[in-house]
Chain A
Amino acid sequence: MRFFWAFLVGGGLCVIGQLLIDLTALTPARILVLFVVSGVALSALGWYEPLADFAGAGATVPLLGFGHLLAQGVLSAVERHGLLGALTGGFSAAAGGIAASLVCGVLASLAARSKDQC
Chain B
Amino acid sequence: MNRRCGKTLFFDQPPSVLGFAAVGGKRESEGPLADGFDLLETDTTFGEKSWERSESKMQALCAELTLQKSGVAAEELDLLFSGDLENQCTASNYTLRDLAVPFVGLYNACATMAEGLALAGCFVAGGLAKRAMAMTSSHFCAAERQFRFPLEYGGKRTPTSQWTATAAGGVVLGESGGPPYVRAVTFGQVTDYGIKDINNMGAAMAPAAVSTLLTFLRDSGEKTENFDRIFTGDLGMVGSALMEELCRREGIVLTNHDDCGLLLYDRGKQEVGAGGSGAGCSASVLCSHILPELRAGRMRRVLFIATGALMSPTTTLQKESIPGIAHLVLLESER
CB-based nearest B residue for A21? B156
Question: Contact between B27 and A118 (Cβ–Cβ < 8 Å)?
Answer: yes
A63 CB to nearest chain B CB (Å): 14
Interface residues of B (CB under 8 A from A): 25-27, 44-45, 51, 140-141, 144-145, 150-152, 155-156, 166, 197
Q: Does A116 contact B (CB under 8 A)?
A: yes
A118 to B197, CA, bound (A): 24
A-B pairs, 9 with minimum CB distance: A118-B27, A116-B44, A118-B26, A114-B151, A116-B141, A117-B151, A115-B151, A28-B155, A116-B140
CB-based nearest B residue for A28? B155
Interface residues on A, range: under 10
A37 to B102, CA, bound (A): 56
Interface of B is mostly: loop
For window 88-118 of A, CB contacts with B under 8 Å fall at 112, 114-118
Instruction: Name the contact of B152 in the complex, choosing from A21, A25, A28, A115 (C-beta under 8 A).
Output: A115
Question: Contact between A114 and B152 (Cβ–Cβ < 8 Å)?
Answer: yes
A62 to B144, CA, bound (A): 27
CB-based nearest B residue for A25? B197
A109 CB to nearest chain B CB (Å): 11
CB-based nearest B residue for A116? B44
B326 CB to nearest chain A CB (Å): 27
**Apart from the given pairs A25-B197, A114-B141, A117-B140, 4 other A-B contacts in the complex at a CB distance below 8 Å:** A114-B151, A115-B151, A117-B141, A118-B27
Contacts of B27 in A (CB 8 A): 118
A95 to B149, CA, bound (A): 25
What are 19 of the A-B contact pairs (CB < 8 Å)? A21-B156, A112-B152, A114-B145, A115-B151, A115-B152, A116-B25, A116-B26, A116-B44, A116-B45, A116-B140, A116-B151, A117-B141, A117-B144, A117-B151, A118-B25, A118-B26, A118-B44, A118-B140, A118-B166
A21 to B155, CA, bound (A): 11
Question: Contact between B150 and A114 (Cβ–Cβ < 8 Å)?
Answer: yes
Contacts of A116 in B (CB 8 A): 25-26, 44-45, 140-141, 151, 166
A70 CB to nearest chain B CB (Å): 23
A118 to B166, CA, bound (A): 10
CB-based nearest B residue for A117? B151
Contacts of A115 in B (CB 8 A): 151-152
B266 CB to nearest chain A CB (Å): 14
Contacts of B140 in A (CB 8 A): 116-118
A63 to B144, CA, bound (A): 26
Contacts of B141 in A (CB 8 A): 114, 116-117
B160 CB to nearest chain A CB (Å): 13
CB-based nearest B residue for A18? B156
Contacts of A114 in B (CB 8 A): 51, 141, 145, 150-152
B138 CB to nearest chain A CB (Å): 13
B176 CB to nearest chain A CB (Å): 41
B219 CB to nearest chain A CB (Å): 39
CB-based nearest A residue for B44? A116
B149 CB to nearest chain A CB (Å): 9
CB-based nearest A residue for B50? A114
B35 CB to nearest chain A CB (Å): 19
A21 to B26, CA, bound (A): 30
A59 CB to nearest chain B CB (Å): 22
A47 CB to nearest chain B CB (Å): 29
Contacts of A21 in B (CB 8 A): 156
Contacts of A117 in B (CB 8 A): 140-141, 144, 151
A40-54 interface bits toward B, Cβ cutoff 8 Å, 1 = contact, 0 = none: 000000000000000
A118 to B155, CA, bound (A): 15
A21 to B141, CA, bound (A): 24
Contacts of B145 in A (CB 8 A): 114
A1 to B45, CA, bound (A): 49
B145 CB to nearest chain A CB (Å): 8
